[in-house]
Structure 1
């Protein structure tokens, strides 16, 4: 990828990610509390819905930028003609690679954020320090496998070969559908990240976490938080893809006009 394209993807991805994460943060908090093992109201209910926002604010820009830079770079390496039947596979591979890289930043941020969301009396830095003291670096990467799997499954529909508004609308519909389908993985991720250190759930086994939820709460437990999750990701898809395309196009145009 050329330098202007690389820089535009970096900045546009970061701006889009920060916009979505901060605007839709209350929906994410409600979703996390619905999925928490102690139950919605014990986890905080509708109180303090911006608990954990510092973790998101810090991790959002580098996380989103890492995804889109990797995404665009892999597409560039696997350069495929837009009319080729291999184009969907190129986007799937690029999106998967983007998620693997982005989750190196996203997962630690998510772990701290989710614990703050269900324990709003504890500050973000206090939670971060406790994780490092009690579990070390590996504690910050609890739920990495479930997060990568969840994100890769619904990010495969990413495409930027259409206009900004078309990309945004497609992102909204595709994201909402994918959000519903992948909710059980999101529940497993939440349970793993919130589990007490040393417990079987904290080991990070996705199937074990899903089985535990199924055994205690059944189908409703596996789809806890599905509606706020669908709403957040549908709106997020609209804002994220639209903001990314608009910002990237603007930056590239600005670069062409500069002497």
Structure 2
């Protein structure tokens, strides 16, 4: 498959990007959701002794043994509902910006890729932030909510709409560099491992994992702030003698007061281990769907075989024969012979051009017309 066929799908097929992105996003979050649940609890500012985990394995073991087999999946419904449309818009926007502003210059492409990641993030976060709030409230130890809908209803009644977007600014501040680093790293690994940009599962998976690891490690302090704003831990609020943690600066101050500098990197191991396979799965599934949907589109709309139409066309074949016969004609006057050949070939070419017009081949028609004018002008 050619590069343009695979890597730069036509904008009219934006549904391909949206479908592939939606499936990739849902799969990414669902498969790695238990790790995300452990990460949320490890980022607690004042964890209960029963929810104080030293490792991901310990966290999963304690959650399952004390709270049930399905407890690590608490809140997954919110992610399924939010991740589908969020990732659909993310990938379609990313591909659209990259296709519009991409160039052959490597440095400019890095800028475009980073910009594409940032632009896609704006739409992604507008949908995903409320889902994240519900998800993290459900993931907390001793969560008072029985379901995602129950959490949605109670949050709206007690805190209003602002509860769902309290961390929006912080998440944007986090996700803009996250996705910029993510996209640039992914494209860099792709350029090294898969320069032809063919469908290469190994390259997509390795590049996705590396991109997720780099971006998640760099933005862990901001992710910690997001968790503080989303969860509004009662124990931390009581300790600080305040009713709410508000804004990025408030979250930064709260984390530092409660846990010091080390508090900004709580859960970094779980975050990196969550993002690496998550982004590897996401990119692999996205590229797989894009590959197959593009392939199906090519099969449904094969390019026209102009060459066979031209060969079968009697007008062009007969005219070419006339042109050949005119070359063998002889005349005692050399000038008269040349003039006759010009007229014959000119007539032949005109007929050919008219036939090409009926075959809807403007570029080839123009070339034939130019050749005709050039010959007759000699």
Question: Aligned pair 1:219/2:261, yes or no?
Answer: yes
Question: Aligned pair 1:256/2:298, yes or no?
Answer: yes
| Structure 1 residue 2, shift from structure 2 partner | 2.3
Q: 2:11, 2:96 within 8 Å by CA — same for their partners in 1?
A: no
| Alpha-carbon distance between aligned partners in 1 of 2:259 and 2:159, rounded to the nearest angstrom | 29
Corresponding residue for 1:76?
Answer: 99
Question: Aligned pair 1:128/2:165, yes or no?
Answer: no
Corresponding residue for 2:90?
Answer: 67
Corresponding residue for 2:44?
Answer: 36
Which of 11, 14, 25 lines up with 1:2 in the alignment?
11
Corresponding residue for 1:57?
Answer: 80
Which of 29, 34, 38 lines up with 1:26 in the alignment?
34
Q: Deviations over 1:220-239 (max 9, x none)?
A: 32111111110010111211
Corresponding residue for 2:288?
Answer: 246
| Alpha-carbon distance between aligned partners in 2 of 1:82 and 1:107, rounded to the nearest angstrom | 35
Q: If each structure's helix is expressed as a fraction of its own residues, which one has the higher value?
A: 2
Q: Which moved more, 1:48-57 or 1:134-143?
A: 134-143
Unaligned runs of 5+ in 2: 1-9, 53-58, 192-196, 302-378
| Alpha-carbon distance between aligned partners in 1 of 2:205 and 2:170, rounded to the nearest angstrom | 26
Matches within 5 A, 1:95-174: 95-118=117-140, 119-120=142-143, 122=145, 123-156=147-180, 157-158=182-183, 159=187, 162=197, 163-174=200-211
3-state SS, counterpart of residue 86 of structure 1: helix
Q: Deviations over 1:192-248 (max 9, x none)?
A: 0111698341x2x21321222122212332111111110010111211111111111
Q: Deviations over 1:155-210 (max 9, x none)?
A: 11323764443132122123112212211101100000111698341x2x213212
Which of 174, 177, 191 lines up with 2:214 in the alignment?
177
| Alpha-carbon distance between aligned partners in 2 of 1:120 and 1:215, rounded to the nearest angstrom | 24
Q: Please give the root-mean-square deviation of Cα atoms over the aligned residues, in Å.
A: 2.1
| Structure 1 residue 76, shift from structure 2 partner | 2.6
Q: 2:125, 2:168 within 8 Å by CA — same for their partners in 1?
A: yes
Corresponding residue for 2:21?
Answer: 13
How many corresponding residue pairs? 255
| Alpha-carbon distance between aligned partners in 2 of 1:104 and 1:223, rounded to the nearest angstrom | 26
Larger radius of gyration: 2
| Alpha-carbon distance between aligned partners in 2 of 1:208 and 1:99, rounded to the nearest angstrom | 24
Which of 243, 246, 261 lines up with 1:199 in the alignment?
243
Whose RCO is larger (CA < 8 A, sep 6+)?
A: 1
3-state SS, counterpart of residue 49 of structure 1: helix
Q: 1:63, 1:105 within 8 Å by CA — same for their partners in 2?
A: yes
Question: TM-score, structure 1 length as denominator?
Answer: 0.91
Q: 1:22, 1:53 within 8 Å by CA — same for their partners in 2?
A: yes
Q: 1:175, 1:237 within 8 Å by CA — same for their partners in 2?
A: yes
3-state SS, counterpart of residue 85 of structure 1: helix
Corresponding residue for 2:277?
Answer: 235
Q: 1:112, 1:124 within 8 Å by CA — same for their partners in 2?
A: yes
Unaligned runs of 5+ in 1: none
